[in-house]
Chains A and B, each alone.
Chain A
Amino acid sequence: MDGGFSLPPTRRLLGGPPLAGGREPLAEHRRRLGNPARGLTGEELIEALETSGLLGRGGAGFPVGAKWRRMAEVGQRRPVILVNGAEGEPLSAKDRVLMGVRPHLVLDGAALAAEALDAEEIVVYIGEEHGAARESIEQAIAERLVAGEGFGRPIRLVAAPMGYVSGEASAAVNRVNTGSALPTVSPPRPSEVGVAGRPTLVQNVESLAYAALIGMFGADWYREMGRLGSRGTALVTVGGEVARRGVREIELGMSLGELADAAGADRGTTRAVLVGGYFGSWIDAAEAWSLPLDPAIMRERGLSFGCGLVWFLPGGACPVAATARIMAFMAGNSAGQCGPCVLGLGAISNAMSGLAGGDGSKDDLARIERWAGMVRGRGACRHPDGAVEVLTSALRTFPAELEVHAGGTACGTTASCRRAA
């Protein structure tokens, strides 16, 4: 877990006992971090979150303090806190790991949000496939009740069905309200009309865990970490061709090259790195190593830190085939409600598969580029936008490989490409 730290290891998202030990019990959690109360008022906590600069960790990176502030000020009804642990990203594991090993940090954040916003209810929303995470949270809630630590309001668990869009904020609210985890049209936003018609704070589990830490140690403590523009640490999921896969905590601003070395990636043979998730971007290895893993700087460069996924594509894999697989997943995971998303992603996916398999042409490549523009921004949720993001990054990063494939043959130089063909 070498994340490039100079700070005491206890006060981190994954600080404390070894992760292999599983769920940290309540008593140990409290011994290690103290009581999250710290004598703050709700207003002071919201101010601390605003000052900290904490950005949401669910993918969109919206400032957490501003989100809570809006909830505190807008609307006449008591809100609902929706703890979002529906991690639909197929390659990401950081939310389920956090819930599995540090459930009390997540619950502290949820409890503080509920207190600060005077919430009616807390709903914990966890992917049905994340059995260990759900069990850990369930046990942690039970443990609190036994210890006489209630939440002062009802708390319940709702299972998120499998699927990429289940964790989208409006889909999460819809699931709780109607049982259907499909996104709905916005406005109204969940922050205005959400669970049971109440204003609803939909907040990712890592964001809530950090809100709890900021409640305990303050905004200045949070701001001590972070090397460049963005403050704090973040959970990342490292995957692909590396020696040490898995979830780790990094100081924001750490370079991608440093993470590659820590995880045992071979800089020499890596062709590209997928950063941010299936909503993210391919980055050419030639430009990757100096890239700071910093949401603010990445945004300036048109990239997204997203859910913190960092996935290494080796030189021995065909990037066209890899991208075709992502597009097939994104097309298959459309909620099926909006025409441009269903038909557009379907068309793009088919064309990409054709290219990957060596049945494509230059016309297909041109069509894919045109369709990208016809899909972006044209759905009830941002699923099509995210899919196009990763697609356009592939067009930008792999022009040579795409050119070869558009010539009517699979590039044939790699095992994965031959498999696709």
Chain B
Amino acid sequence: MDRELRVDWIACEAFGMCHDLAPDLVALDDWGYPILPSPSEVAARAGDVQRIIDCCPARALSLVRRDGRTQGRRQQRSIGAVPHQGPRLRA
């Protein structure tokens, strides 16, 4: 499964450790925030990617499945189970 390297932008404090550890993988913008590699680079450099994730002082980096949706079906219940007189659908 394709995985994407993500930054938690709220957590990121622009320490720049990711860039220091892998300058050819992570660039920095004008304010010191990371510009991240593409999923194909992430896949090709799994070891380096794990290292920068582990070394981030703000714990702001993570790998996310690209289709990252939680699955699981909720059982369809009959609607209008709670009695009331407002707009009603047929159960």
Q: Please give the residue numbers on chain A whose beta carbons come within 8 Å of chain B beta carbons, in ascending order.
A: 35-37, 39-45, 72-77, 108, 111-112, 115-116, 118, 144, 148-153, 184-185, 187-188, 192, 212, 215, 337-341, 343-344, 347, 370-371, 374, 378-380
Contacts and interface: CB of A to CB of B under 8 A. Distances in A.
A40 B52 CA distance: 54
Interface in B8-28: 8-14
Contact of A374 (B29, B77, B82): B29
A112 B79 CA distance: 10
A85 B12 CA distance: 31
B15 to A, nearest CB: 11
Q: Which label, helix, strand, loop or mixed, suits the secondary structure of the B interface?
A: loop
B87 A35 contact: yes
10 contacts: A37-B87, A37-B89, A41-B90, A74-B71, A75-B70, A112-B89, A149-B86, A153-B82, A185-B8, A340-B33
Interface string B28-42: 011111010000000
B63 to A, nearest CB: 12
Contacts of A44: 90
Contacts of A73: 73-74
Contacts of B31: 339-340, 343-344, 347, 374
B87 A112 contact: yes
A75 B74 CA distance: 5
Contact of A150 (B33, B86, B89): B86
Contacts of B10: 184-185, 337-338, 380
A188 B70 contact: yes
A148 B35 CA distance: 57
A116 B68 CA distance: 26
A356 B72 CA distance: 53
Contacts of A116: 79, 89
A76 B70 CA distance: 11
Q: Which 4 residue pairs across A and B have the least CB separation, nearest first?
A: A338-B9, A152-B84, A152-B82, A42-B79
A115 B90 CA distance: 9
Contacts of B76: 43, 72
Given A72-B74, A75-B72, A152-B80, A374 B30 contact: yes
Interface in B48-91: 64, 68-74, 76-77, 79-91
B80 A115 contact: yes
A151 B70 CA distance: 29
A17 B87 CA distance: 22
B58 to A, nearest CB: 11
Contacts of B12: 338-339
Nearest to A115: B89
B9 A74 contact: no
A150 B85 contact: yes
Contact of B89 (A42, A185, A192, A343): A42
Contacts of B74: 72-77
A150 B87 CA distance: 9
A192 B72 CA distance: 11
B25 to A, nearest CB: 17
A341 B29 CA distance: 12
A340 B89 contact: no
A146 to B, nearest CB: 12
A344 B14 CA distance: 13
B84 A192 contact: no
B6 to A, nearest CB: 9
A40 B89 contact: yes
Contact of B90 (A37, A153, A339, A340): A37
Given A74-B74, A76-B74, A371-B30, A337 B9 contact: yes
Contacts of B7: 378
Given A151-B86, A378-B7, 11 more contacts: A37-B90, A74-B69, A74-B70, A74-B73, A152-B84, A185-B8, A187-B68, A341-B9, A347-B30, A347-B31, A374-B35
Contact of B88 (A43, A115, A344): A115
